């Protein structure tokens, strides 16, 4: 990874912070020559969200806050709000973050599907599962489509690594950090990363359950957070679209989409496509965290390897099925029911 990633991190923090200051810490100073960022200290008791999920802490405002962050940062950096000229200027700026993008291409869309040097899994328990991923032709065709979209579709300025390790929280505060992978890409990559990591957290809970806490209530809270995150995002995003439909955005010009019925149909088609994109990217992120190079603390902190592998296998099987069948899901509630079907009896 190059030192230049600090420039893109600082730039994205400033851009996203200007759009959603409640959930992005302010950058006070950036020195490009020194790759030095001076930014607001996120004070205790903030912790990394992933650690809170491992510990079983509920965050009642998480869905509301993340929906707000995703809706504002994605809408206001898209062609729904901006002119083509302004949009392309943004795309050109972040195109130079190519090395970080290539790293993502490798570890998310390539390595898990071949015998890559740094792949690992909970061996020997998941050896056959990892082999099955590498031999799944249908899965490979779907991941190729997502990889092309990731590289080619400059839809909005995405965070690029919006997992639960890039979010700091308390029960009433949510702060998004570390956008060093930022680039203009598909909106569903950010949404999917967040939702997919919550699903990983869900499947890890059986490995953290004990006699004092079976984690069943907490698992239901995670599922409700996933459901609320998408539904609130959907509402906030469409509300922004309706509010700014007569603005400078050039994706849907008012003289063409000149009646409410037509605009409503366009929005429904757009949001359905975005939903399916999010499910695909979220599933890809889940798969790579189980059979790729970089794993997650949610599973890694489960000391019993057999128990860990059991949790990971259910997550992996769920991710593969969602990725292949993502276009069949009509609502987040249907996805939640599908996730629950992989839960141990």
For 302, the 3-state DSSP assignment is coil
With residues binned 3-state (H G I as helix, E B as strand, rest as coil), the percentages for the chain, rounded to 5, are: 60, 5, 30
DSSP 312: H
Domains of the chain (ranges, CATH numbers) = 44-340 (3.90.1200.10)
Q: Taking the model in full, what pTM does it have?
A: 0.98
Please choose, from the candidates 221, 182, 191, the residue with its C-alpha nearest in 3D space to the C-alpha of residue 52. 221
Q: Beta-carbon neighbour count of residue 61 at 10 Å?
A: 14
On the question of a cis peptide bond just before residue 300, with omega within 30 degrees of 0, the verdict is no
Contact status, residue 195 vs residue 280, Cβ threshold 8 Å: no
**pLDDT tens track, the chain, 345 positions:** 889 999 999 999 999 999 999 999 999 999 999 999 999 999 999 999 999 999 999 999 999 999 999 999 999 999 999 999 999 999 999 999 999 999 999 999 999 999 999 999 999 999 999 999 999 999 999 999 999 999 999 999 999 999 999 999 999 999 999 999 999 999 999 999 999 999 999 999 999 999 999 999 999 999 999 999 999 999 999 999 999 999 999 999 999 999 999 999 999 999 999 999 999 999 999 999 999 999 999 999 999 999 999 999 999 999 999 999 999 999 999 999 999 999 864
Taking the C-alpha atoms of residue 56 and residue 330, their distance in angstroms, rounded to an integer, is 30
Contact status, residue 16 vs residue 73, Cβ threshold 8 Å: yes
What's the pLDDT score for residue 343? 84
Contact status, residue 146 vs residue 280, Cβ threshold 8 Å: yes
Q: Beta-carbon neighbour count of residue 100 at 10 Å?
A: 22
Calculate the alpha carbon distances from 244 to 21, 64, 188, 248, 338 in Å.
Answer: 20, 21, 21, 8, 35
Phi, psi values for residue 173, rounded to 5°:
-140, 140
Distance in Å from the first CA to the final CA of the chain: 43
What are the b/e assignments for 290-306, b being 16+ CB within 10 Å? bbbeebbbbbeebeeee
Dihedral angle sign, alpha carbons of residues 163, 120, 323, 98: positive
Dihedral angle sign, alpha carbons of residues 245, 250, 254, 258: negative
β-strand pairing of 183-185 with 156-158: antiparallel
Calculate the alpha carbon distances from 20 to 14, 23, 47, 278, 291 in Å.
Answer: 10, 6, 20, 21, 35
What's the pLDDT score for residue 42? 98
CB under 8 Å to 252, separation ≥6 — which residues? 80, 245, 263, 266
CB under 8 Å to 279, separation ≥6 — which residues? 188, 192, 195, 322, 323, 326, 329, 335
């Amino acid at each position: 990874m190059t030192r230049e990633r600090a420039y893109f991190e600082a730039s994205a923090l400033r851009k996203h912070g200007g759009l959603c200051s409640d959930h992005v810490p302010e950058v006070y100073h950036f020195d490009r020559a020194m790759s030095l960022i001076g930014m607001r200290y996120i004070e205790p008791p903030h912790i990394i969200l992933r650690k809170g999920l491992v510990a079983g802490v509920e965050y009642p405002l998480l869905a509301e806050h993340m929906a707000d962050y995703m809706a504002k940062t994605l809408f206001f950096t898209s062609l729904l709000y901006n002119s083509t000229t302004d949009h392309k200027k943004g795309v050109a700026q972040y195109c130079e973050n190519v090395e970080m993008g290539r790293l993502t291409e490798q570890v998310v869309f390539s390595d898990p599907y071949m015998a890559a040097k740094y792949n690992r899994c909970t061996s020997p328990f998941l050896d056959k599962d990892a082999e099955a991923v590498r031999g799944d032709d249908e899965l490979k065709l779907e991941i190729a489509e997502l990889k092309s979209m990731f590289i080619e579709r400059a839809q909005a300025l995405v965070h690029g690594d919006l997992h639960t390790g890039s979010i700091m929280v308390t029960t009433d505060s949510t702060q998004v950090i570390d956008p060093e992978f930022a680039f203009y890409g598909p909106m569903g990559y950010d949404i999917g990363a967040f939702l997919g990591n919550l699903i990983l957290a869900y499947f890890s809970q059986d490995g953290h359950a004990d006699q004092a806490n079976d984690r069943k209530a907490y698992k239901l809270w995670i599922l409700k957070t996933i459901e609320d995150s998408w539904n609130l995002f959907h509402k906030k995003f469409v509300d922004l679209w309706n509010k700014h439909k007569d603005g400078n955005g050039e994706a849907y010009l008012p003289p063409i989409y000149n009646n409410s019925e037509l605009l409503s149909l366009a929005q429904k088609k757009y949001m359905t496509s975005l939903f399916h994109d999010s499910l695909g990217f979220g599933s890809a992120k889940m798969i790579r965290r189980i059979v790729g190079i970089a794993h997650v603390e949610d599973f890694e902190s489960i000391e019993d390897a057999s128990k860990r592998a059991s949790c990971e296998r259910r997550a992996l099987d769920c991710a593969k099925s969602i990725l292949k069948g993502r276009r069949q899901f009509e609502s987040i509630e249907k996805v939640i029911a599908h996730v629950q079907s992989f839960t141990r009896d």
